[in-house]
Structure 1
Amino acid sequence: MFRITKEFHFSASHQLCHLHQDHPCARLHGHNYIVVVELACDTLDEDGFVLDYNALAPLKRYIDDEMDHRHLNEVFGHDKVTSEWMAQMLYDWCKARWDQTSAVKVSETPKTWAEYRP
């Protein structure tokens, strides 16, 4: 199995309003997010790639246009915009465009990661 990954960065705010008011994530706060998309396949294409990294430009545009420097609760219209939820949402977004998508990881801090891998 061949696997490639590409990393994307953005900054945004969110608020987990459903949590108890004493929970730090219940307050409006922001993160410098890191998104890592993983693609995998058994055979390489005619150019020797799982996928040309340049083909992932639509993901960068989506993140830059829809998520970067935005309030994610407003962007997605709900109050449970967690890293876990974003990993699955971005996985689904990528899988609809690139069949080789095998996982997406999202980091809010240098020490925390959430991954969605069916």
Structure 2
Amino acid sequence: MYFCISKDFHFSASHRLDGLDASHPCARLHGHNYVVALELAAGSNGLDGVGFVRDYGDLAEFSQWLDSELDHRHLNDVVDTHPSAENISRWIFERGISRYPELHAVRVSETPKTWAEYRK
């Protein structure tokens, strides 16, 4: 048993997905208004003295990092892997786990109805 908290963040960026048929819309240069959800977890005895998994205010640093690294950028030039939503979620997770050891999952949405997730 464990507790989870999550918080959503937003950024806008372009990308192109190689390896698709030329007629596929994602093969062309295009952009998204991304939503990134961080999920942090703590065991039932792992809450801090206030009763938090982590103070939401501590995530302001992540928001600043996301804005400086990904917002209004071309992801093919930034992410060191093929910039699918699945790979972006893992890329963000790998960069966030050292700062947020409670990080349990990163979800990335490119559209209001689609999500990709990388989970511990």
Normalised by the size of structure 2, how large is the TM-score?
A: 0.92
Question: What does the per-residue CA deviation read over 1:42-91, in whole Å, with 9 as the maximum and x for residues that have no partner?
Answer: 1210122100111112210111011111111112255x201000111111
Residue number among 58, 64, 68 corresponding to 2:67 in the alignment? 64
Q: Give the Cα separation in 1 of the matches to 2:80 and 2:89.
A: 16
RMSD (Å), alpha carbons: 1.1
Moved more, 32-41 or 52-61: 52-61
Residue 110 (structure 1) aligns with: 112
Runs of 4+ that moved beyond 2 A: none
Residue 2 (structure 1) aligns with: 3
Q: Give the paired residue count.
A: 117
Percentage of pairs with the same residue: 52
Structure 2 counterpart of 1:32, one-letter code: N
Q: Give the Cα separation in 2 of the matches to 1:71 and 1:85.
A: 15
Gaps of 5+ in 2: none
Kindly state the Cα deviation for residue 98 of structure 1 after the two structures are TM-superposed.
Answer: 1.1
| Secondary structure, aligned partner of 1:93 | helix
Residue number among 44, 48, 54 corresponding to 1:51 in the alignment? 54
Kindly state the Cα deviation for residue 23 of structure 1 after the two structures are TM-superposed.
Answer: 1.1
